[in-house]
Amino acid sequence: MSAEGVFITFEGGDGAGKSTQIQRVRDWFIERGRTVKVTREPGGTELGVQIRQMVQNGPEDIDPQTEALLYAADRAYHVATLIRPALAAGEVVLADRYIDSSLAYQGAARSLGVDEIRSLSMWATQSLDPTLTFLLDLPPEVGARRRTDAPDRMERESTDFHERVRHEYLRLADAEPERIIVIDGVGTPDEVFSEIRGVLEERFGSGVVQHVDDETAVDQPSRPVDKSAEPLTTDNAKVASHSAPKAKTKSGAQSSKSSKKKSMLGILAGQVPLWPSAEEDKA
């Protein structure tokens, strides 16, 4: 019996480390015998690459409505040509940004209306929701310090803009605690992935293995983060299933339960001590 498709999205402000954690989650699923596709919005398709260039590096006078419609157009094509076919084939799809990004950036920070942007996005995707969303949360000033190259049009927005983005992300997490799991993005990559791995083991630890006949199947090497004009998609070969752990971990249960009990908006009221991360991400 073939496995069902799994759709996991990664959200958070600039510099949250999404790209690093996506590659680690990709490896986690591959070790358990799954075929994984890594993608992003915008930029997961050839059309998306062009839209990404227009939105992030286009003219400064792009108005909020145009920006929102460009993202919606990319998302409609992305879902129809890449995400839905992969899920129908039983693959795991890991996406760097999805509808929640539009709700936070265009709906809230651009003041276009969260409900309006949600309706547009659901129409564009024919109501395709993720199985699970990891929200990597950190203060905007921390993300800005992690930047290593010139900021794009979105990153040049004010601190107040990025604070509104963060506030909306946390509000969404409060509203959907079963789907959106908030992860403290301030720590080191290992610390962040430890939290993510606990959730993965709790949610998927006993049900993700696909048995393969060829025990010599070899996985493709991990693809580095690419910010050039190429679609960020990765198809990975299946590997033998004997390495998959079956039991839930104590840390996994605690991570999920604490995410449900804790008010996400409360994070804004009392920030934990900050320290720089060794790995950066501006996606």
Strand, helix or coil at 109?
helix
Residues in contact with 49: Cβ distance below 8 Å, sequence separation at least 6, in sequence order: 42, 43, 229, 230, 231
What does the alpha-carbon distance between residue 80 and residue 252 come to, in Å, rounded to a whole number?
33
Strand, helix or coil at 34?
coil
Retrieve residue 111's tokens.
């003041």
Numbered residues of the known binding site: 12-19
Retrieve residue 96's tokens.
């760097």
Q: How far is CA 89 from CA 10, 85, 231, in A?
A: 21, 6, 20
* CB contact at 8 A, 218 and 212: no
* CB contact at 8 A, 2 and 210: yes
* Structure letter (DSSP) for residue 248: P
* CB contact at 8 A, 227 and 52: no
What does the alpha-carbon distance between residue 192 and residue 163 come to, in Å, rounded to a whole number?
21
Helices (H), the chain: 18-30, 46-57, 64-78, 84-88, 99-102, 114-125, 140-146, 159-175, 189-204, 250-261
Q: Which amino acid is located at 230 in the chain?
A: E
Numbered residues of the known binding site for ATP: 12-19
**Nearest CA-CA partner of 232 in 77, 48, 104:** 48
